[in-house]
Structure 1
């Protein structure tokens, strides 16, 4: 079977919802990249303070952890948009186009359902942290609602991108699993 892969890019004639979601996930993809760079700079600062100045660090380790968790979660939707998640396409490539389409619908709907549950419960965790004014138990003691916000926001963006992918599949803007028949 001969198939070619397509990148997940939006066209000018694409659905407005899809364009908005893809713009939003791209924006947060850039934020995730910025978080990664900031975490790198904070790590360098921490190394300098500890080993060159010989002083202890208070906030750097925790900040780097929160930044990297935020980068991972806020980047979920963007990675989905680019099809960057781990993908085993042996079965979709072996299937005929009709069966491939059915499998793609099943996978997207199941993933949307699971992600929606994660969004719901992560919102509850964030809301508890915000409402109860939870703080980290470290010397720095930042409010935990700030890093916890990346949970519902990141998974919410991932959910929106999955729904946009479903819309693209339904409208024929993108073939199942990005595999076009030649």
Structure 2
């Protein structure tokens, strides 16, 4: 059964978040190299380089998490699960995905309140650069929201596999192979 347009949209969003995160890691590396070169070649320093690099890497970590979940690159211990019968494996993976969804939704809500408080107060970092904290505080609820959407996609796939009685060798919470042989986006 083909995936719905909504689930394909979630996969596209996760893929876009992953590639954006990869680009921002490169940008963070360039910012750090710029700061190092400026300091050691010219004896000068910046007031923004370290903080910006931290914010870029925060974005890559939290927003890129949805991409990792989409491609099964998240940490999981499946030694015991692998020896269980097929339907039980799917059930255990479904339970783990539902618990993961609940966790990231909780973090998204709590961090969303923190972000809104920073917006209302006009909080700033307090460093020499002193950027508004509303931008970096938005990274966590955004990332957890994207991971929650990807967990919805995983739960839907596992639930469909459980109902259909799919007992194949591939873990049903992993992305299907595309026609080109790689993970489908």
Give the TM-score of the pair, scaled to structure 2. Answer: 0.86
Matched, 1:120 2:91: no
Matched, 1:132 2:121: yes
Do 2:158 and 2:173's aligned partners in 1 also have CA atoms closer than 8 Å?
no
Identify the range of structure 1 (90-99 vs 45-54) with the bigger mean alpha-carbon deviation: 90-99
Q: C-alpha displacement at 1:34, in angstroms? A: 1.2
Structure 2: how far apart are the matches of 1:142 and 1:92? 47
Aligned to 2:133: 144
Do 1:28 and 1:74's aligned partners in 2 also have CA atoms closer than 8 Å?
yes
Give the aligned length: 168
Specify which of 24, 44, 63 is matched with residue 33 of structure 2: 44
Q: C-alpha displacement at 1:176, in angstroms? A: 3.9
Aligned to 1:14: 3
Cα offsets for 1:105-150 (capped at 9, x unmatched): 2111111111111110010011111111110110000001111111
Specify which of 77, 83, 93 is matched with residue 94 of structure 1: 83
Query: Which structure 2 segments of 5+ residues have no match?
Result: 175-185
Query: Which structure 1 segments of 5+ residues have no match?
Result: 1-10
Matched, 1:163 2:143: no
Cα offsets for 1:35-91 (capped at 9, x unmatched): 101000001100111000101221101111111011101101000000001122211
Higher relative contact order, structure no. (Cα contacts within 8 Å, ≥ 6 residues apart): 1
Do 2:157 and 2:173's aligned partners in 1 also have CA atoms closer than 8 Å?
no
